[in-house]
């Protein structure tokens, strides 16, 4: 797992409502605490996103990379990395 750096935390703060009905964090520190508590992971590619879901036992057969990125749990950090948060 990669570090939860400021880019990751900012991405989560700005986009958390795609996964949760209301904000769960207001500051970078709260975001970091929340993401650590729910065992969020940062991966380096769409391929690693698919691998993560497969390891979690989620059937990804026939799902394209673009489709998996539309999952509410997947946040595009914008630098090629993706944050995956279990809701």
Neighbours of 81 (CB within 10 A): 19
Residue 2 confidence (pLDDT): 60
**pLDDT for res 3:** 78
Question: Quick check: is 1 in a domain?
Answer: no
- Residue 60 and residue 53 in contact, taking contact as beta carbons nearer than 8 Å: yes
Confidence check: pLDDT of 84 > 70: yes
- Determine, yes or no, domain membership for 65: yes
Q: Which of 9-18, 20-29, 54-63 has the lowest mean pLDDT?
A: 54-63
Instruction: Tell me, yes or no, whether 70 lies in a domain.
Output: yes
Q: Is residue 58 part of a domain?
A: yes
pLDDT greater than 80 at residue 29: yes
Summarize pLDDT for 32-69 with one digit per residue, the tens.
Answer: 999 999 999 999 999 999 999 999 999 889 998 899 99
**Over the chain, what is the mean pLDDT?**
94
- 67 found inside a domain: yes
Q: pTM for this structure? A: 0.92
- Here the tokens at position 30 are 């709260």
Find all residues with CB under 8 Å of 17, minimum gap 6, and list them.
23
The residue range of the domain holding 27 is 6-84
Would you say residue 77 lies in a domain? yes
Query: Domain tally for the chain?
Result: 1
Q: Beta-strand (E) ranges in the chain? A: 41-43, 74-76, 82-84
């Amino acid at each position: 797992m990669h570090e939860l750096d400021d880019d990751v935390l900012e991405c989560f703060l700005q986009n958390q409502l795609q996964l949760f009905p209301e904000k769960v964090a207001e500051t970078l520190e709260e975001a970091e605490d929340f993401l650590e508590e729910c065992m969020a992971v940062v991966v380096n590619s769409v391929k690693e996103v698919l691998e993560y879901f497969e390891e979690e036992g989620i059937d990804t057969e026939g799902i394209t990379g673009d489709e998996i990125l539309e999952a509410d749990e997947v946040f595009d950090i914008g630098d090629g990395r993706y944050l995956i948060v279990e809701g």
